[in-house]
Amino acid sequence: MKLASLRDPVGFVRDALVLVRDPLALSRGAFALVFLLRTTPLLAPCDPRFLRGTNGWLGWPDGGWHIPVHGLALPAAVVMALVVLRTLGALALMLGIYPRVSGLAAGIAGYLVLAQDAFGYMHHLHMLYLGAILFALVDRDAPRSSLLMLRLFVASIYVWAVIGKLASEWGTGVPLTAFVGNGALDRDLVGTLLATPERCAIVEIVVMVIEAAIAAGLLWPRTRKIALVCAVAMHIGFEIIGRVDSIGWQMMALLLVFTGDSEPPRTDTRSSTDHTSRR
Amino acid sequence: MRGRIYLTRTHLVATIIVCVVLPLASWLDGSGQLAWTMFSRTGQFRLVIVADGTQMNPTEIAAAAMPGPTAIALAGSDQLKHHDVMRATARRHLDDIADLACRLRPGAQLTVRLEERVRRSEPIRTSEVTRRCAR
User: Three-state SS string across chain A, please?
Assistant: CCCCCCCCHHHHHHHHHHHCCCHHHHHHHHHHHHHHHHHCHHHHHHCCHHHCCCCCCCCCCCCCCCCCHHHCCCCHHHHHHHHHHHHHHHHHHHHCCCHHHHHHHHHHHHHHHHCCCHHHCCHHHHHHHHHHHHHHCCCCCCHHHHHHHHHHHHHHHHHHHHHHHHCCCCCCCHHHHHHHHCCCCCHHHHCCCCCCHHHHHHHHHHHHHHHHHHHHHHHCHHHHHHHHHHHHHHHHHHHHHHCCCCHHHHHHHHHHHHCCCCCCCCCCCCCHHHHHHHC
B19–A117 CB contact, under 8 Å: no
CA atoms within 13 A on the CB side of A53: 9
Which chain B residues are within 8 Å of A130, Cβ to Cβ? Answer: 18
Instruction: Work out the pLDDT band at B127, boundaries 50, 70, 90.
Output: very high
Q: Please calculate the CA angle A279-A151-A167 and round it to the nearest 5 degrees.
A: 115
Nearest Cα neighbor of B83 from B43, B36, B119, B113 is B43
Measured between beta carbons, the chain A residues lying within 8 angstroms of B94 are none
Quick one: pLDDT at residue A61? 80
- The shortest C-alpha distance from B76 to chain A (Å) reads 13
pLDDT reading at B3 higher than 60: no
Count Cβ atoms below 10 Å from residue B22 Cβ, excluding itself. 18
Residues 6 or more apart whose Cβ sits within 8 Å of residue A146: A24, A137, A138, A139, A264, B11
User: What is d(CA A23, CA A158) in angstroms, rounded to the nearest whole number?
Assistant: 20
A243 touches chain B (CB under 8 A): no
Compute CA distances B23 → A100, A164, B8, B28, whole Å: 24, 10, 22, 9
Check CB contact under 8 Å for A160 and B93.
no
- ipTM of the assembly? 0.91
Selecting from A134, A160, A273 the residue whose C-beta is nearest the C-beta of B36 gives A160
pLDDT for A126 equals 97
**pLDDT tens for each residue of B70-87:** 999 999 999 999 889 999
The whole-number pLDDT of residue A5 equals 57
Q: How far apart are CA A36 and CA A34, in angstroms?
A: 5
Name the closest residue on chain B to residue A156, using Cα atoms. B19
- CA-nearest residue to A151 within chain B is B15
Alpha-carbon distance A136 to nearest alpha carbon in chain B (angstroms): 11
CA-nearest residue to A126 within chain B is: B34
For B83-110, write each residue's pLDDT tens digit. 899 999 999 999 999 999 999 999 999 9
Taking the CA of residue A121 and the nearest CA in chain B, the distance in Å comes to: 8
Beta bridge partners of B127: B114
What tens-digit pLDDT sequence spans chain A (279 residues)? 445 556 777 777 777 666 677 999 999 999 999 999 999 999 999 888 888 877 889 988 878 899 999 989 999 999 999 999 999 999 999 999 999 999 999 999 999 999 999 999 999 999 999 999 999 999 989 999 999 999 999 999 999 999 999 988 999 999 999 889 888 888 888 888 999 999 999 999 999 999 999 999 999 999 999 999 999 999 999 999 987 889 999 999 999 999 976 555 554 555 444 443 333
Separation CA A117–CA A71 (nearest Å): 10
Tell which of B1, B4, B11 to mutate to test the A interface (max A CBs under 10 Å).
B11
Cα–Cα distances in angstroms (integers) from residue B85 to residues A2, A38, A262, in the given order: 40, 20, 37
Task: State the smallest CA–CA distance between residue A217 and chain B in angstroms.
Answer: 17
CB contact under 8 A, B37 and A169: no
C-beta separation of B35 from A127 below 8 A: no
Tell me, yes or no, if A247 comes closer than 8 A to chain B by beta carbon: yes
In this structure, are residues B68 and A66 in contact, taking their beta carbons and an 8 Å threshold? yes
- Chain A contact set for B40 (CB, 8 A): 161, 164-165, 167-168, 170, 175
Query: What is the structure's pLDDT at A269?
Result: 52
Judged by a CB distance cut-off of 8 A, whether residue A145 touches chain B is yes
> In this predicted structure, what is the pLDDT of residue A51?
83
A65–chain B Cβ distance below 8 A for any pair: yes
Reduced to 3 states (helix: H, G, I; strand: E, B; else coil), residue B104 is helix
